[in-house]
Structure 1
């Protein structure tokens, strides 16, 4: 849900040394949110970890398949 997603963002901002997302309260000029440089780095790190994990899992599956064929 929308609220759950914002709760996660707030928790990450609390745990991080610097915010990953900066928010501006709405009003006459409007509000908004901006992903910080630290947030961009966090996303890039997650994507790298995800790629590495997928490579590992594919390699492990290939090894298992090979063992089962022998």
Structure 2
């Protein structure tokens, strides 16, 4: 599905400790797709350490893990979203979809401002 040229990508603050935005959500989505923190970081063009720090911040904020990792070895390692991580991605996607659908007039007005002389 092609991305529209104007899109709302919200940043949500829950209390003083939880901040969820497009970067963290995109990282979780990529981990879900690739089953790897390293592959997700590469796909996003960010260092592995940055990805790990974002995930650690989410885990600390929610008080429980959003991803589950397995060490390498004969079967290989990997990472998967926990039910909490998956639910976070689903809720964020629903919010993002609703905000974009309900903001059509405002988004078109903004687009007009960007393209007017």
Question: TM-score if structure 1 supplies the norm length?
Answer: 0.70
CA distance in structure 2 between the aligned counterparts of 1:42 and 1:33, rounded to whole angstroms: 16
Q: What's the offset of the Cα at 1:38?
A: 0.7
Identify the residue that residue 33 of structure 1 maps to in structure 2: 79
CA distance in structure 2 between the aligned counterparts of 1:56 and 1:29, rounded to whole angstroms: 46
Unaligned runs of 5+ in 1: 65-70
Identify the residue that residue 10 of structure 1 maps to in structure 2: 56
Structure with higher helix content: 1
| Residue in structure 2 matching 1:23, options 69, 74, 91 | 69
Identify the residue that residue 42 of structure 1 maps to in structure 2: 88
Unaligned runs of 5+ in 2: 1-45, 110-117
Question: TM-score if structure 2 supplies the norm length?
Answer: 0.46
Between 38-47 and 23-32, the greater mean CA deviation after superposition? 23-32
State which structure, 1 or 2, has the greater radius of gyration over its C-alpha atoms: 1
Compute the RMSD of aligned alpha carbons. Answer: 2.0
